[in-house]
Amino acid sequence: MALGKCNYPMFALAGTLALVASAVLAQEGQRTFSSGYRFVEMSGEELYNNVCRGCHMMDGKGATGAGSYPSLAANPNLEAASYPVTMVVQGHRGMPPFGGMMNDDQVAAVVNYLRTHFGNNYSDAVTGQDVRDARH
Amino acid sequence: MRIPGWCGLNTSMHDEAAGVSRRDLLSLIGVMAGSAAMYHAMTSLGFASESRYRGPVRLEGDPKGASVLILGAGLAGMTAALELRKAGYQVKVLEFNNRAGGRNWTLRGGDRFTELGGVTQACDFEQGLYVNPGPWRIPYHHRALLDYCRRLDVTLEPFIQLNHNAYLHASRAFGGAPQRIRTVKADFQGQVSELLAKATRQGKLNEAVTREDQEILLQALRSWGALDRNYSYNANLHASEYRGYATAPGGGLAARPVPSDPVALSDILKSQLWRYLQNFANYNFQTTMFQPVGGMDMIGKAFAKEIGDIIRYNAKVTRIQQSDSAVTVTYVDATRPSITETATADWCICTIPLSILSQIPIDVGETMKAAIDAVPYAGSVKIGLQFKRRFWEEDDAIYGGISYTDLPIRQIGYPNTGYNRTGRGVLLGAYLFDGANAYEFTAMSPEERVARAVEFGTAIHPQYGAEFENGIAVAWHRVPFTLGCSGDWSDDARRQHYDNLCQIDGRIVLAGEHASELPAWQEGAILSSLDAIVRLHERVVKT
């Protein structure tokens, strides 16, 4: 599907909707949902919050059960920008590849977000062209 | 198309038959031994084959007291435990959870579930109501799973995959109003038939279809598409017998039915609703499908009743080592992680999901390790919602089945049990598998997932607003014992690594849905386990 932005507006809910549900939504506000296989979120922050956060968590520190999701916080592996670009595009072990679900600019945006948040402070931003090169 | 990468249950019969034609051999067998033997031979030769399952596994020969350590008490692990113990092995099972079953799992009122990230949800469903967060349906051709259900006394009931009165919903078509599956199916079929009949009668198929066959084709299209005498699909009582009536037939005075108006072909095409019809045609979803009475975990519980005494629960595996003579597995008690324990056996069957196994140090060769590392795990989300009453039955006459939508919830599954009762009911309020929405819902807090499912579902069932009570949401990437829903093999990875994954490496062999050509199906877990133990047993008996 084409990358059309597709915000599902909040439905005007009946006043009787259970309070829990409406209170949660009021707190969370507008959220972007994709309409097809590919993500429509474009900013690094929104991509992180709607995609990466599922496993790497809100604070970027990952989580541990029978196995672990690695922490991205203050992570020296992020120093070489090509490493997170490759991880996002190709995946790694159990981590799914997102190269088919994000375009070059989206991958660059989310990598730049990771590398400048969660205690990471790398100023050399990745471009869509860098991602394009990394795909080959 | 995936290459058939199956690791070889009973393929040798093909070779033996190579000298004679199959048909000759079969008639010979039929004459000599009667129809039961002929049927058995037919299935072995590849005819009448709907399943690789060949009946209860027979492990003949003496294992001479050999021991097997099984990692994981899901269906793959418990199948191996059950069969190997019966064959005379000393068997022990290590399981990460404090229950058996793995992804064979049901949530009921009173259950609690803590996902990765630390949030605990309490399931507040009324007693007797449940949701299956993992597998929820069993195709009739999953003969291995069905056989274990029979042998373990698990009662089944029909799972309704196609309910003609459930909905297909496109948020930007028909003013957002959901359409009954019955009308979309009848109208699409009717209008396609009308078009084809027109082309036939205009002679446009003369090169492709003989004159004689054209006559038969026209009869078939009239029958299949509910066309009228002039090969037209339109509002009449005959078409209404398929798509439903504007006013249904009644009794007594004013009983006469009134035909309904078909939806225009162009509207169906543009709405994209046709794309959901494949869900009723796909081999995996054809009738009859089943579910266990009382919840999918009745299967895991039935296995655990047989072999629960040899399961060590709360065991988190941290290392898998092997030597020429033994396998040693290191684990910690998940409730007391400071204490390290080990278990040793002659052989090991490891059913740990690859998402986790790829992180555990394991003594296997390079090719198997590369295979373990080659499989990403899919995202999937299921959300159970409890309502004060079964309005989908009372108001909408939807008894079981599934509605499909292009909204991010994708599906609404109606309970296939307890029909036509007053009182509360639980819906599957969302079922996302792969794709962007699965990630977007995983990234939310559990309570937001539930709230969003209610929000979106209201577009299909406006009753949600007044009737919703509580819900529980399971996002499989947040599930501590799998870190994902199932192995999401790419075709390339499967070509390169699948056979390597399924080899016996020294004293270790893997099993699970990830080691099957039926990914994400319970049948795949069982068939892979049976294949692994047959090969392992051959090796043990030979040595």
Residue A13 clears pLDDT 50, i.e. is over it: no
Q: What is the mean pLDDT of chain A?
A: 87
Instruction: Tell how strand B411-414 and strand B315-322 pair up.
Output: unpaired
Distance between CA atoms of B362 and A67, rounded to whole angstroms? 14
SS3 assignment, position B7: coil
Q: Does A4 touch chain B (CB under 8 A)?
A: no
Say how many C-beta atoms besides its own lie within 10 A of residue B271's C-beta.
19
Distance between CA atoms of B527 and B368, rounded to whole angstroms? 20
B213's CB contacts (< 8 A; 6+ apart) are none
pLDDT digits (tens, 9 = 90+) for B287-337: 999 999 999 999 999 999 999 999 999 999 999 999 999 999 999 998 898
Question: Is the same domain home to B407 and B291?
Answer: yes
- CATH classification at residue A114: 1.10.760.10
Q: Does A42 touch chain B (CB under 8 A)?
A: no
Per-residue pLDDT band at B543 (split at 50, 70, 90): confident
Nearest-by-CA chain A residue for B440: A50
SS3 assignment, position B378: coil
Amino acid at B107: L
For residue A13, give the nearest of B316, B465, B479 by CB distance. Answer: B465
Tokens of B240: 């209404």
Beta strands in B356-515 (DSSP E): 380-387, 401-405, 411-414, 425-433, 468-475, 508-510
Q: Cβ distance B91 to B63 under 8 Å?
A: no
- B359, part of any domain: yes
Question: Is the same domain home to B79 and B115?
Answer: no
For residue B454, give the nearest of A21, A38, A58 by CB distance. Answer: A21
Residue B502 clears pLDDT 80, i.e. is over it: yes
Question: Is the same domain home to B158 and B125?
Answer: yes
B439 or B42, which is more confident?
B439
Portion 385-414 of B in contact with A at CB < 8 A: 406-408
Amino acid at B178: P
pLDDT digits (tens, 9 = 90+) for A51-90: 999 999 999 999 999 999 999 999 999 999 999 999 999 9
Q: B317: closest CA among B361, B381, B373, B252?
A: B361
Q: For chain A, how many structural domains are there in total?
A: 1
Q: Chain A to chain B, count of Cβ pairs less than 8 Å apart?
A: 152
Using an 8 Å CB-CB cutoff, list chain B residues near A32.
440
Query: Cβ of B117 and A57 within 8 Å?
Result: yes
Question: Is the same domain home to B418 and B453?
Answer: yes
- B62, part of any domain: no
Question: Is the same domain home to B517 and B438?
Answer: no
Mean pLDDT (whole number) for A103-113 = 98
Say how many C-beta atoms besides its own lie within 10 A of residue B319's C-beta.
14
Give how far B45 is from chain A: nearest CA, Å: 38
Q: What is the mean pLDDT of chain B?
A: 93
- B276, part of any domain: no
Q: Does B352 touch chain A (CB under 8 A)?
A: yes
Distance between CA atoms of B45 and B17, rounded to whole angstroms? 8
Amino acid at B292: P
- B56, part of any domain: no
Say how many C-beta atoms besides its own lie within 10 A of residue B474's C-beta.
24
Tokens of A9: 């507006």
Q: A117: closest CA among A69, A48, A51, A63?
A: A48
Tokens of A11: 């439905």
- B273, part of any domain: no
Q: Does A87 touch chain B (CB under 8 A)?
A: no
Question: Is the same domain home to B291 and B387?
Answer: yes
- B83, part of any domain: yes
Nearest-by-CA chain B residue for A30: B452
Question: Is the same domain home to B93 and B198?
Answer: no
Question: Is the same domain home to B352 and B316?
Answer: yes
SS3 assignment, position B538: helix
pLDDT digits (tens, 9 = 90+) for B360-407: 999 999 999 999 999 999 999 999 999 999 999 999 999 999 999 999
Question: What residues make up the domain containing B399?
Answer: 107-165+287-295+378-478
SS3 assignment, position B328: strand
Say how many C-beta atoms besides its own lie within 10 A of residue B333's C-beta.
15
Question: Is the same domain home to B396 and B469?
Answer: yes
Residue B215 clears pLDDT 80, i.e. is over it: yes
Distance between CA atoms of B48 and A19, rounded to whole angstroms? 56
Q: For chain B, how many structural domains are there in total?
A: 4
Distance between CA atoms of B384 and B432, rounded to whole angstroms? 12
Distance between CA atoms of A70 and A62, rounded to whole angstroms? 5
H helix count then E strand count, chain A = 6, 2
In whole angstroms, what separates CA B491 from the centre of its chain?
20
A interface mutation test: which of B483, B488, B514 has the most A CBs within 10 A? B483
Question: Is the same domain home to B463 and B508?
Answer: no
pLDDT digits (tens, 9 = 90+) for A83-98: 999 999 999 999 999 9
- A23, part of any domain: no
Question: Is the same domain home to B425 and B318?
Answer: no
What pTM does this model have?
A: 0.90
Query: Cβ of A65 and B477 within 8 Å?
Result: no
Question: What residues make up the domain containing A130?
Answer: 41-135
Q: Which residue has the tokens 């299909």?
A: B460
Per-residue pLDDT band at A29 (split at 50, 70, 90): confident
Residue B239's H or E segment, with its range, is helix B237-243
